[in-house]
Amino acid sequence: MARFRFEPTPRTLDWTLFVVVALEVATGLLSLVAGEPADAIVFVSHGVLGFTLTVLVAWKLRRVAPRLRTRVAGRWTTALSALLTAVTLGALATGVFWAFGGDFRFLLWNALNVHIALGLLVVPILALHLRRHYHTPQPADFTQRRIALQYGTLLVFGALTWRVQQATSRLLALPGATRRFTGSKERGSDAGNAFPLTSWVADDPAPIDVEHWTLTLTGELAQPRSFNYDDLTPEDETRAILDCTSGWYSAHDWQGIAVGSLLDLAEPTPAARWVSFRSVTGYRWSLPIEEARDALLATHVDGEALVHGHGAPLRLVAPGRRGFQWVKWITAIELRERRDVSEWLAIFVSGFSETPRE
């Protein structure tokens, strides 16, 4: 056998690749909603499995390269395999590049956005590829003793490479490129309003005039209430990190009103389990009521009144949650029995129904 003995048999390798890719997609998606230090395992697994994947992909390519070159499989099948190769290598390369502190701009996207897009693109291409190349796994593919040894060694390799990468990128890190466990890089901490602005798709409301703005509390409440801007004296302060899934974070002292204080005034009924925060644009997110009580409705950041771009007059500060959950331009709070699952759609399509601003 000419092949290096450590390498798994073709079918074992292919199914292992499939499982590792699936785990990468799963941990990648999970990482977008993970924000607590206890969630670090999600990011570590994504990194370790990513390095493991580079070895699996290298083995796979060595095996199929002659076939790709001679196109024995037919033009379309070969083109699809070549595309899958390119997209997979692109996802791996952008992931590693970002982890080392690198970045670039591609139209509106940074390296992390491109990494996420390529990673998601692997899914449909792999599904098409599998339609042609599916081989039912056999028990023998996974029960040989040396397989446990191979997988053990592969994972150790992945973990060690990840350790080395972490240490190296810490050494290389240029100023402003220090990363959190989420992979995000520091931007504009403790500098008041001077941190990045991030809004999705079409969320671009006209500045809100506080004279005509009210905050309404509705739903499972004994006392539905509404407040004017002047009713909201910023008497609470929370230090929290805004950590955006596009790869930056910013730490600030936020001033405003604890959600718990407002809820006490409106007396939630016993049925109230979730609190949904709604933007003037239709954008919304909900938190379990216990967590929501400790969240802050911020009017100020580091002592400065929030500017329009950051959600004035009122934005949610939800410690331990990712940036996309920190709703800006809040006008309504709804107490609910159940979580609002439609919020997953609302964050993508909000703003489209708004009258465009001049």
Ligand X SMILES: Nc1nc2c(c(=O)[nH]1)N[C@H]1C(S)=C(S)[C@@H](COP(=O)(O)O)O[C@H]1N2
Binding ligand X (rule: CB under 6 A), the pick from 14, 141, 203, 334 is 203
**Least distance from ligand X to the Cβ atom of residue 177, Å:** 19
Question: Considering beta carbons, is residue 16 or 182 the nearer one to ligand X?
Answer: 182
Contact predicate 40/181, CB 8 Å = yes
Closest distance between ligand X and the C-beta of residue 308, in Å?
10
Residue of minimal Cβ distance to ligand X: 323
Closest distance of CB 20 from ligand X, Å: 29
CB nearer to Mo ion: pick between 219 and 323: 323
Q: Nearest distance from residue 43's CB to ligand X, in Å?
A: 17
Q: Counting contacts by CB under 5 A, is residue 247 touching Mo ion?
A: no
Q: Burial-class residue 70 by CB neighbours within 10 Å (0-12, 13-18, 19+).
A: exposed
Cis peptide before 313 (omega within 30 of 0): yes
Q: Distance between the two ends of the chain, CA-based, in angstroms?
A: 71
Residue 135 CB, shortest distance to ligand X, in Å, is 42
Least distance between ligand X and beta carbon 211 (Å) = 21
Contacts of 81 (CB under 8 A, 6+ apart): 64, 68, 73, 129
For ligand X, the closer of residues 300 and 328 by Cβ is: 328
Long-range contacts of 269-273 (CB under 8 A, 24+ apart): 269/220, 269/221, 269/222, 269/335, 271/220, 271/337, 272/219, 272/220, 272/221, 272/335, 272/336, 272/337, 273/336, 273/337, 273/338, 273/339
Q: Which of 199, 218, 238, 331 binds ligand X (CB under 6 A)?
A: 199
Count of residues in contact with ligand X, rule CB under 6 A = 21
User: Considering the rule CB under 6 A, would residue 35 count as an interface residue with ligand X?
Assistant: no
Residues of span 164-223 touching Mo ion by CB under 5 A: 198
* Footprint of ligand X on 307-336 (CB under 6 A): 309-311, 323-324, 326-329
CB of 192 to ligand X, least distance (A): 12
Determine contact, residues 274/295, Cβ cutoff 8 Å: no
Quick one: what does residue 197 bind among Mo ion, ligand X, none, with the CB cut-off 5 to 8 Å set by partner type? ligand X
In the chain, the amino acid numbered 302 is: D
**Geometric angle at alpha carbon 32, from 165 and 256, rounded to 5°:** 115
189 binds ligand X (CB under 6 A): no
Q: Which of 166, 178, 198, 261 binds ligand X (CB under 6 A)?
A: 198
* Residue 106: strand pairing partners: 109
Angle at 49 between CA 43 and CA 52, to 5 degrees: 150
What does the binding site for ligand X look like in residue numbers (CB under 6 A)?
195-200, 203, 242, 244, 279, 281, 283, 309-311, 323-324, 326-329
What does the binding site for Mo ion look like in residue numbers (CB under 5 A)?
198, 244, 323-324
